[in-house]
């Protein structure tokens, strides 16, 4: 995304590039995170518009 105009050494130093490459190498899929989200949805179901409030409360109460 716009990196084609930057020198290769500058791209190599970019933290954004490092993060982008990491996500790309994983196919933008993290199985353990997906399973944890599925487990949470089963343990503590809630409407999608209340998800943020539920997650904040869950973190606060831990």
CB atoms within 10 A of CB 20: 14
pTM above 0.75, yes or no: no
Of the listed ranges 4-8, 25-29, 30-34, 51-55, the one predicted with least confidence: 4-8
Contact 54, 44 (CB under 8 A): yes
Domain of 22, in residue numbers:
3-61
**Across 14-18, average pLDDT:** 84
Model confidence over 34-56: pLDDT tens digits? 999 999 999 999 999 999 999 99
Distance set, CA 13 to CA 4, 17, 26, 30 (Å): 14, 8, 20, 25
Is the per-residue pLDDT at 3 higher than 90? no
Structural domain count, the chain: 1
Contact 46, 54 (CB under 8 A): yes
């Amino acid at each position: 995304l716009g990196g084609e105009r930057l020198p290769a050494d500058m791209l190599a130093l970019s933290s954004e590039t490092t993060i982008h490459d990491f996500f790309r190498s994983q196919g933008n899929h993290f199985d353990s995170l997906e399973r944890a989200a599925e487990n949470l949805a089963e343990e503590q179901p809630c409407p999608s518009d209340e998800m943020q409030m539920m997650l904040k409360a869950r973190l606060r109460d831990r």
